[in-house]
Amino acid sequence: MARTFFGLIKLLRYRFLLIAGLFPYGLGTAIAFYSTKSFDLHRFLAGLGITLLALIGVEAFNEYFDWQNGSDRVFQESPRPVTKRTLVLGIVSFSIAFLITLFLSFQLGYPVIILYLIGFLAAFFYLAPPIKLSYRGLGEIDIALSYGPLLVLASYYVQTGKLALLPLGVSVIPALLLFKIAILNQVPDYFQDRLVGKRNFCVRIGRENLMKLYGIITIIFYGIILTGLYFKQIPQLVWSVPLIAFPLSLTTYLIGNKTYSEPERFLPAIRYMVINYLLISCLLIASYLF
């Protein structure tokens, strides 16, 4: 039992997406509070439990299928095998999450089950055969849609019992941020991904063009924020986002554009992008709460 527990901690300790997934969930809840001026603690905790279990399941599936597909073994002399226990962890996590989802469905209706099933399929087939979305250039889109619209809408629905255009529109912000993190993370793994046939964005268009894509998406991202502010679809506190976060976005681009062929020197670009995501997410959530 203790061995299983410490194995779980080791699996999750450096998993950015486990933490990243909590912010879209919090954002959906904040938008629901902004819209209805109400907050249901029990629903929030139930939804949070589903989210955490699903995120653990995602990391377990990714760890297991990365091993099966060989991408984690390319440049390792004596890699430690990832056993089926990791796959079982993912299945158990999603199974418990489904039981909580069933409980919520008695209060909120069948849409909560549909949202869960979409999330499960997106998580499982990110790397699992025969679909393997990340090997077909669709993994980045899978991440953006799952951690953006799906999570934000699900948490909004848990609080309100309905879907709405406002959380869907705002969810574009975390979706684009996480898309940028996803493509930047591919740069250091460019050669090993090519060797195992992983046709992600970086392999398909090359590292130099990937940085150009990052720049284009950054311009679109800030354009969306400024448009939302102009039409008063986003609280005015978000005016601080372009002022505070843009320098980090620019720094990420400048470092990445110079070092994309040198994995170790490229890592600070990823770190700045992660900081950017956390900063913008916190400001966005706060803007709907206060």
pLDDT 10s digits, 194-247: 888 888 999 999 999 999 999 999 999 999 888 888 887 778 777 777 777 889
Range 5-24 average pLDDT: 64
Predicted local distance difference test score (pLDDT) of residue 72:
57
Residue of higher predicted confidence among 60 and 18? 60
**Structure pTM?**
0.90
**Positive or negative CA dihedral for 66, 72, 77, 81?**
negative
* Percent of the chain residues topping a pLDDT of 70: 90
Which pLDDT does position 13 carry in this prediction?
Answer: 45
Q: Which long-range contacts (CB under 8 A, 24 or more apart) does 239-246 make?
A: 240/283, 241/280, 241/283, 241/284, 244/279, 244/283, 245/276, 245/279, 245/280, 245/283, 246/222
Q: Which amino acid is at 118?
A: I
C-beta separation of 194 from 179 below 8 A: no
For the ranges 26-35, 221-230, 265-274, which has the lowest average pLDDT?
221-230
**CB proximity list for 180: less than 8 A, separation 6 or greater:** 214, 217, 218, 221, 273
Residue that the structure tokens 């439990």 belong to: 49
